[in-house]
Structure 1
Amino acid sequence: MFHSQTALWREQQRIAAHESAHCIARFACGLSIDHVSIVGRLEGYRTINGVVIGGAADDDERGDFSRIVVLVAGSIGEEVFLSEGTGLRGSDRRKALRYAERLASNSNAISLLIRAAEVEAEAILRQHELAFRNLVETLLARSRLTGQQVLEVIGQSI
């Protein structure tokens, strides 16, 4: 495989691990999953590499700890699956900080909430590691899954 093909494959693995981790965290936190995709698309001026969509009732603007866990899970998933990661960044970082600011009033407490969410997300991924890895592989093979298909992969792995 040429270097550029290897780099592309590595990026696809990173995106699949990232989105699969969001799915596993949503499952563990009792939040619904409508669908997941690792197909890139343009949205305005930026490229969205992957997405997990949940139920509208789950994605309201309440600020609870489980939402922060789900948001940080993507970057933790990259570290767990690929043994490397870029850390919390982009829209996940902005949203996690927004939720944390609703729960804490100072920057130290916000940082502690984010760190606690990272620890919780890693524990969830380790607890469901087989389901996580199977979901990554299935997502790499199919690119898009319905919520029902995600639950089937998880169910077969538990």
Structure 2
Amino acid sequence: MSISVLCIAALSGIGAAAVVINEVELNPPGNGTKWVELYNNGEDDVEISGWVVSIVNLPWIGPIAIPEGTVIPAKGYYVAEGSLQWRQEYSGYVTLVDVGGFKVDETHLITDDGDSDFTYGRYPNGVDTDQKSDWKLMKATPGSENVLSIRS
């Protein structure tokens, strides 16, 4: 095995690759703010200072800059909240970009026109097979495990 292959193999184990977009609220009830939950499904803590979450649609919404000193513990969560001044757009793609400009994760097109406390989340929690089927409509669980529930 060459040295460059060894370096790539070693880098692939870094915790940053373990952070995923886990749950998205694009249409909170009332005048609430949009939010995006990140989840660290790795075994190590991950510093996400300077990372950026964006909701991309026409027109573009965001970004949400992650503040300095932000760490997601192993199997932990971080909820990035948007701004009350954002336009009321109810669909888009959510992207997560690290401090170096690398796209860490991106969702499929999500549409939420329900004005409710239901969100789209990965189920089981943190699963990432790059398939639309990773995502389910569920009752909002910001900062905690995604759980399927019957919509009322």
* Greater per-residue strand proportion: 2
**TM-score for the superposition, normalised by structure 2:** 0.34
RCO comparison, higher one (Cα < 8 Å, 6+): 1
**TM-score for the superposition, normalised by structure 1:** 0.33
